[in-house]
């Protein structure tokens, strides 16, 4: 949560500064720009909304610090037939609504980047292929040599690489977070594979583990099950079926944490 807060803070300063420089039109202008450059999964409308309100709040505080805001609030409210505080609320709501609207428009107008679906998938609107892979060539993970097959952005903070081992079959993949990132910070990891039985290797700092995705048929229909097979270092084998409603792979950060914790301790994981 640090990154969105920082975005709101910095953007609020920008809203305050540009409003002071050029006036209220800076709000929709800046929010529109923000909508154009921010990724959709970064919730540009919400960030702009909060930042604009905060930005104007800075300016109100500035006015109050150097002048008679209390009296002015009372007077302005009286003229408008409102309680004084309502005018302040209106003053904060106005840029928030304006910025939200402009950011949403900007976001909608943002040029769509070309998306490449995983093999076997009809399309993946969330994942965007990065033109230039950060990892090139082959890397050594888990004692095996892996080839970078794809690099994807997945949400505002997630950079994953889908790797296939040069000496491994297609149903083996390795998921590795961006260097320096903790895999446990990933909001959501989708592991997609057309193979009914895919082995997935995670690389988290010094610890490594691998999972196997299998498909089992149940009365309720197909369920994808993740089976955490090994955890290197722990030496234990943990198996826990994890149902997914749709898609393949691990679901949420908390679930992943629990799975990882369970794998490390050899105790039960998420159900």
Partner 1 sequence: MGPLPPLGPFLDPAHGVWSVARATSLPAEFSGSIPGMTGEVEVVYDRRGVPHIWASSADDAIRALGFVVARDRLFQLEVQSRAPEGTLTELAGEAALSLDRQQRRLGFGRSAEREMRELDARSPSAGLLRAYADGINAWIDGMGAADMPFEYHLLNAKPRRWEPIHSLLLNKRMAYTLVYDTQELWRARVEALVGKPAADALFPVNHPIVQPIQPNSSPQPRFDFQRLPDPAPPNSDATSVARLLDDVQSAMGIGPDEEAQGPAPASNNWAVSPSRTAGGYALLSGDPHLELTLPSIWYEVHLVVAGVMDVHGVTIPGLPTVIIGFNRDVAWSFTNTGADVLDFYRETVDSEERPTRYMLDGEWKPVERRIEEYRDPRGAVIATDTVRYTHRGPVRDTEAGHLSMRWTMLEHALSMEPFLGAAGSTTAEEWLRAMAPYPGPAQNMIVADREGNIAIRSTGLYPIRPDNGDGQVVRDGSTSASDWLGYWPLEEYPTAVNPAQGFLASANQQPLDPALGRLYLGANWETPWRAMRINQLLAADSQVTPDAMRRYHTDPGNVKADLFVPAFLEAARGENDLDEARRLLEEWDRRYTKENERAILFELALNELDFRTFDELFLPDGRRLARRASRSVLAGLLRTPDSPWWDDRRTSDRIETRDDVLAASLEAAMNLATERYGDPDDGGWRWSAVRHNNISHLLGLPALSRRGLPVQGGPGNLNPSSGNGNHGSSWRMVVEMGPEVRAWATYPGGQSGNPASPRYADRIDQWVAGELDEVLFPHDRADLADDDVIGVLTLRGGAR
Residues at the interface with partner 1 (CB under 8 A) = 19-20, 23-25, 27, 56, 59-60, 62-64, 66-69, 71-72, 74-81, 87, 90-91, 94, 98
Q: Which residue lies nearer to partner 1 by CB, 46 or 93?
A: 93
Shortest approach of partner 1 to residue 198 CB, angstroms? 55
- As given in the structure block, the two tokens for residue 171 are 């149903």
Shortest approach of partner 1 to residue 35 CB, angstroms? 18
Q: Which residue lies nearer to partner 1 by CB, 48 or 189?
A: 48
Q: Which residue lies nearer to partner 1 by CB, 84 or 249?
A: 84
Q: Which residue lies nearer to partner 1 by CB, 71 or 197?
A: 71
**To the nearest 10°, the Cα dihedral for 97, 99, 102, 106?**
-140
Q: Is residue 58 within a helix (H) or strand (E), and if so which, with residue range?
A: helix 44-66
- Calpha distance 35→181 (Å, rounded): 26
Q: Which residue lies nearer to partner 1 by CB, 67 or 205?
A: 67
Residues whose CB is less than 8 angstroms from the CB of residue 180 and which lie 6 or more positions away in sequence, other chains included: none
Shortest approach of partner 1 to residue 226 CB, angstroms? 53
Q: Which residue lies nearer to partner 1 by CB, 6 or 75?
A: 75
- Calpha distance 118→192 (Å, rounded): 7
Shortest approach of partner 1 to residue 22 CB, angstroms? 9
Residues whose CB is less than 8 angstroms from the CB of residue 233 and which lie 6 or more positions away in sequence, other chains included: 206, 207, 208
Q: % helix / strand / coil in the chain, to the nearest 5?
A: 40, 25, 35
Shortest approach of partner 1 to residue 20 CB, angstroms? 4
Give the Cβ contact number of residue 128 at 10 Å: 18
Shortest approach of partner 1 to residue 187 CB, angstroms? 35
Closest CA to 40 of 97, 103, 129: 103
Q: Which residue lies nearer to partner 1 by CB, 69 or 105?
A: 69
- Calpha distance 63→165 (Å, rounded): 62
Question: How far is residue 199 from each of residues 138, 144, 170, 234, measured CA to CA in Å?
Answer: 19, 14, 9, 19
Shortest approach of partner 1 to residue 59 CB, angstroms? 4
- Calpha distance 246→251 (Å, rounded): 10
């Amino acid at each position: 949560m640090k990154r969105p807060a920082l975005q709101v803070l910095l953007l609020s300063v920008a809203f305050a500064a540009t409003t002071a420089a050029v006036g209220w039109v800076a709000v929709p202008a800046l929010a529109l720009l923000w909508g154009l450059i921010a990724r959709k999964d970064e919730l540009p409308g919400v960030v702009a909304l909060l930042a604009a309100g905060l930005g104007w709040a800075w300016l109100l505080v500035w006015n109050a610090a150097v002048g008679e805001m209390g009296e002015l609030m009372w007077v302005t409210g009286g003229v408008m037939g409102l309680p004084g505080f309502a005018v302040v609320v209106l003053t904060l709501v106005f840029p928030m609504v304006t910025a939200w609207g402009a950011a949403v428009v900007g976001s909608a107008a943002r040029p769509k980047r070309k998306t490449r679906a995983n093999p076997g998938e009809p399309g993946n609107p969330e994942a965007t292929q990065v033109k230039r892979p950060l990892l090139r060539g082959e890397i050594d993970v888990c004692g095996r040599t892996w080839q970078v097959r794809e690099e994807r952005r997945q949400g505002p903070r997630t950079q994953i690489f889908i790797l296939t081992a040069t000496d491994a079959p297609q149903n083996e993949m390795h998921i590795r977070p961006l260097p320096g990132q903790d895999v446990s910070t990933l909001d959501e990891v989708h592991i997609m594979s057309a193979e009914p039985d895919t082995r997935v290797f995670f690389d988290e700092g010094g610890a490594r583990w691998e999972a196997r995705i299998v498909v089992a048929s149940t009365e309720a229909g197909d369920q994808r099950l993740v089976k955490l097979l090994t955890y290197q270092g722990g030496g234990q084998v943990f198996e826990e079926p994890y149902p997914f409603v749709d898609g393949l792979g691990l679901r949420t950060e908390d679930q992943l944490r629990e799975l990882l914790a369970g794998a490390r301790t050899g105790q039960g994981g998420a159900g």
